[in-house]
Amino acid sequence: MLEDYKVNIRVQLSALWTSVMFCYIYGDYFELYVPKKVEGLLNGQNMLGSPAKLFSATIILTVPALMIFLSLVLKPKLTKWLNISVALFFTLFTLLVGISSLSEWRMFYVFLSFTESILTSTIIIKAWSWAKK
């Protein structure tokens, strides 16, 4: 019989945010295989074709990366509500991105968007049901 340990809620939240980040990274990497994507990057014709758009995308993708760390170190009450609010935003955001990406060459992106939404929804549920002392 294998011994099973209870995993601390902070570690669970951090692991979920790590999974979300891997989905983001894989989505951005796999997108390079979409026809004409690299060509668009090389000639400056891409979705993030301005400094403001690139900076906005950087901010959006930095938040989940920071949540990996913040879930482990902030005070419990702040961690709970920050996880709920940030995960709620990203659940809605990734669902909208997934729906707007429906096309044959972007099915991988739609799949990852829905996977990310399931992960961030799980974060909301876990944080909401965080046991009190």
Cα-Cα-Cα-Cα torsion 44, 48, 50, 53, nearest 10 degrees, comes to 180
pLDDT tens across 41-86, in order? 777 777 667 788 888 888 999 999 999 999 999 999 999 999 999 9
Which residues are within 8 A (CB) of 41 and not within 5 positions of it... i.e. 6 or more apart? Answer: none
Q: What's the pLDDT tens digit per position in 15-31?
A: 999 999 999 999 888 88
Structure tokens at 19: 């999974």
Host H or E run for residue 35: none
pLDDT number for residue 59? 92
Give pLDDT, residue 39. 81
pLDDT (0 to 100) of residue 97: 82
State residue 127's pLDDT score.
98
Separation of alpha carbons 16 and 124, rounded Å: 11
pLDDT at residue 105 above 80? no
* Whole-structure pTM value: 0.88
